[in-house]
Amino acid sequence: MSKRVFYPFIMIYISAIVYLAYTTPITPHEANIFYSDNGIVNFLMHYGYDMFGGFIGIRLFFTLIGFISIYLYYSMTAIYLERESDRYSATTLYLILPGIITALVLANISILVIPLVLIFLISYDKDIKWLQIAIMGVLFFIHEASVIFFITILIYGFINKNRLLTLSSGIFLTLSIIIARGVEIGGRPSGHFIDIFGLYTALFSPLIFIYFFYTLYRILLREEKNILWYISFGALIVSLLLSIRQRISITDFAPYVIISVVLMLDSFNRRLRVRLPIYQKYYKIGFIVVISTLISVSLLIVLHQPLFVDRGYSFTDKLYEPFNLAKELKAKNIDCYSVDKRDKVYQLRFYGIESCPRYEFKE
């Protein structure tokens, strides 16, 4: 991708993200965090809401941090890609992933974790030791599942004989174990393995995830394994293994997995460019098919309002049904509604509709 195409794309992309953040109703997950959580996401949501109100208020800081992460991701690609055009392509590919679009639009912990991991990778490449430790410390405090990150860094540091990474990640990992922070492990084989594959497919789009998984596996067998590969592959494998016994939260793992799409593009380019033009045909056709599928899926997310809302598609109900219901109730001067589902109670509360006393939900 050329610079002349990349920068107009960024402007259009940012405009689309701001529009979605401003107009998309509060999700059940956001409503739960807004009213029942006490972490950093809850704090930023309330702080933004007190300043600006509305949907954009609860998402303001996350969207702004997401925009900063665009620059950080572009900067990080310089570690793995030499050509400027490849860096533009890698950043564009990263931005149009469905998981990144939703992370930029909605209030969530992932968009706070991603820029921290990117700063860590940049600081590691530039050998800024104090910043590496500082980032580990911030991750330790804001992300309970950062234990995944510490495990992968510990393994990388030990294998590559990096004493700083081994010692620092070991300390944070030990602290996580002592205070019982991290991913809860338990249960018995319960069939969530297919579910987690479906979630990753939704985050990447189907064909992209298949090739992404293949790339990480190929690097495991044949190619040089850098620190980014250790972080992403380790988080991916741990999530798949845990899903055999229990239901896991995709937001615990996705920030560490999704950032390594740059490795996928780098692997594809190297395999393509070592071949004569006559033998590149099928690679280019495959690339067009995969990217076309990704763009189609991403456009469905960006254009979901005119395409699906008010057209009878049930998968938009969790967002728009409480929003439309609240508008109807307010038009009739009704300030309470009988509902016993926590998610919907919190969503309606955000719109100023409380549960009627008989149905009041107890937190």
- The tokens describing 4, both together, are 């002349």
Please check whether residue 235 is in contact with residue 252, taking contact to mean a CB–CB distance below 8 angstroms.
no
Rg of the chain on CA atoms, in Å = 22
Strands 336-337 and 354-355, bridge-based pairing: parallel
Q: DSSP letters along 48-82, please? A: HHHHH-HHHHHHHHHHHHHHHHHHHHHHHHTTT--
- The tokens describing 157, both together, are 């540091």
Q: Is the pLDDT of residue 332 over 80?
A: yes
The pLDDT-based confidence of 359 (bands split at 50, 70, 90) is very low
pTM of the model: 0.91
The pLDDT-based confidence of 72 (bands split at 50, 70, 90) is very high
Q: What angle do CA 8, 291, 78 make, to 5 degrees?
A: 60
Please check whether residue 118 is in contact with residue 259, taking contact to mean a CB–CB distance below 8 angstroms.
yes
What pLDDT is attached to residue 314? 58
What pLDDT is attached to residue 184? 56
Residues 192-212 have a mean pLDDT of: 86
Residues 194-222 have a mean pLDDT of: 89
Residues 216-236 have a mean pLDDT of: 91
Q: Is the pLDDT of residue 352 over 60?
A: yes
- The tokens describing 204, both together, are 């990447």
Among 165-179, 275-289, 303-317, 347-361, the range of highest mean pLDDT: 165-179
The pLDDT-based confidence of 43 (bands split at 50, 70, 90) is very high
What pLDDT is attached to residue 108? 92
What pLDDT is attached to residue 243? 79
Residues 226-251 have a mean pLDDT of: 87
What pLDDT is attached to residue 70? 95
Higher-pLDDT residue of 18 and 2 is: 18
Please state, in angstroms and rounded to a whole number, the distance separating the CA atoms of residues 156 and 227: 7
Q: Is the pLDDT of residue 223 over 50?
A: yes
Helices 147-159 and 250-258, axial angle in degrees (round to 10): 40
Q: What angle do CA 11, 40, 124 make, to 5 degrees?
A: 65
Residues 85-106: tens digit of each pLDDT: 999 999 999 999 999 999 999 9
Please state, in angstroms and rounded to a whole number, the distance separating the CA atoms of residues 76 and 69: 10
Please state, in angstroms and rounded to a whole number, the distance separating the CA atoms of residues 166 and 235: 17
Buried b vs exposed e over 185-205: b needs ≥16 C-beta within 10 Å? eeeeeeebeeebeebbbebbb
Within 10 Å of residue 16's Cβ, how many Cβ atoms? 18
What pLDDT is attached to residue 338? 80
Q: Is the pLDDT of residue 209 over 60?
A: yes
- The tokens describing 269, both together, are 């380019």
Residues 116-128: tens digit of each pLDDT: 999 999 999 999 9
- The tokens describing 225, both together, are 């394994």
The pLDDT-based confidence of 74 (bands split at 50, 70, 90) is very high
**For residue 332, how many C-alpha atoms fall within 13 Å in the half-sphere facing its CB?**
10
Lowest mean pLDDT: which of 67-76, 98-107, 175-184, 332-341? 175-184
Lowest mean pLDDT: which of 109-113, 193-197, 323-327? 193-197
Residues 292-321 have a mean pLDDT of: 80
Q: Is the pLDDT of residue 207 over 80?
A: yes
Three-state DSSP string of 4-52:
HHHHHHHHHHHHHHHHHHHHCCCCHHHHHHHHHCCCHHHHHHHHHHHHH
